Structure 1
C-alpha cells in the first residue's frame, strides 16, 4: 500500500475532504473548488 493511498483512506475515514490534484484540472479549477468549499467559513469579500 502506498503512503498517499493510506493518507487518503485515513482522511476519508475521518470525514476530511480530499482534493485530488492529478493534472486533469488547471490551477484555477482547483482553486475555484477549494474556494467553494471554504466560502461558508470566510467573511464576505470586499469588492
Structure 2
C-alpha cells in the first residue's frame, strides 16, 4: 500500500493518515479521477448503444 500511495499521490501512507490537509487533497484528487472515469464510461456506453 505504501508504494501505491507514493506512486499515485506522491505521499506515503503514514503522512496520509497523519495530516488532514494531505488526506483531503488526495481524496479530492481521487474523487475527480473517479468522476472523470464515470463520464468516460457513460460516453462510451452511449456511443455503443447509439450504433445498434
TM-score of the two chains, using structure 1 as the length reference: 0.32
Larger-gyration structure (1/2): 2
TM-score of the two chains, using structure 2 as the length reference: 0.30
Structure with greater proportional helix content: 2
